[in-house]
Amino acid sequence: MTGTTTLHTDLERELAEFTGREAALVFSTGYHSNLSAVTTLADKQSLIISDAHVHASLIDAARLSRSVIEVVPHNDVAAVRAALAAAAGRRAIVLTESIFSVLGDSAPLTDLAAACAEHDALLIVDEAHGLGVVGSGGQGLVHAHGLSDHPHVVMTMTLSKSLGAMGGAVLGSAALIDHLINCARPFIFNTGLAPAPTAGALTALRRLRQHPDLPSRIHQRGSELADRFGVQRSAGAVLSVPMASAQAALATHGMALAAGVRVGCFRPPSVPDGISRLRITLHAGLNDDHWVQAVDVLANVIGNHRRTP
Ligand SMILES: Cc1ncc(COP(=O)(O)O)c(C=O)c1O
Residue 70 CA to ligand 1 center (angstroms) comes to 22
Q: Is the pLDDT assigned to residue 88 strictly greater than 90?
A: no
Q: How far is it, in rounded angstroms, from Cα 276 to Cα 264?
A: 11
Q: What angle do the packed helices 288-302 and 214-229 form, to 10 degrees?
A: 30
Residue 55 Cβ inside 6 Å of ligand 1? The answer reads yes
Name the band, by pLDDT with cuts 50, 70 and 90, for residue 218.
very high
Name the band, by pLDDT with cuts 50, 70 and 90, for residue 215.
very high
User: Counting atoms of ligand 1 from 1, which one is nearest the CA of 57?
Assistant: 4
Residue 86 CA to ligand 1 center (angstroms) comes to 30
Q: Is the pLDDT assigned to residue 234 strictly greater than 60?
A: yes
Residue 166 CA to ligand 1 center (angstroms) comes to 10
What is the sign, positive or negative, of the torsion defined by CA atoms of 152, 74, 163, 201?
positive
Overall fold of domain 214-305: Aspartate Aminotransferase, domain 1 (3.90.1150)
Q: Is the pLDDT assigned to residue 304 strictly greater than 80?
A: no
Q: How far is it, in rounded angstroms, from Cα 22 to Cα 140?
A: 15
Name the band, by pLDDT with cuts 50, 70 and 90, for residue 272.
confident
Hey, what's the torsion of the CAs at 108, 150, 175, 163, to 10 degrees? Answer: 50
Q: Which CATH number is correct for 6-209, 3.30.465.10, 2.160.10.10, 3.30.70.20, 3.40.640.10?
A: 3.40.640.10
Among left, alpha and beta (phi > 0; psi -120 to 50; other), residue 17 is alpha
Average pLDDT of the residues in 194-208: 97
pLDDT in the model for residue 140: 98
Asked if residue 249 lies in contact with residue 277, where contact means CB atoms within 8 angstroms, the answer is: yes
Q: Is the pLDDT assigned to residue 1 strictly greater than 60?
A: no
Domains of the chain: which residue ranges? 6-209, 214-305
pLDDT in the model for residue 68: 97
Residue 160 Cβ inside 6 Å of ligand 1? The answer reads yes
Neighbours of 255 (CB within 10 A): 17
Residue 126 Cβ inside 6 Å of ligand 1? The answer reads yes
Q: Name the nearest CA neighbour of 170 among 133, 122, 136.
A: 122
Q: Work out the percent of the chain whose per-residue pLDDT is above 70.
A: 99
Take atom 10 of ligand 1 and give the residue whose Cα is closest: 30
Asked if residue 133 lies in contact with residue 162, where contact means CB atoms within 8 angstroms, the answer is: yes
Residue 110 Cβ inside 6 Å of ligand 1? The answer reads no
Residue 195 CA to ligand 1 center (angstroms) comes to 20
Neighbours of 114 (CB within 10 A): 17
Q: Name the nearest CA neighbour of 77 among 119, 130, 14.
A: 119
Residue 302 CA to ligand 1 center (angstroms) comes to 27
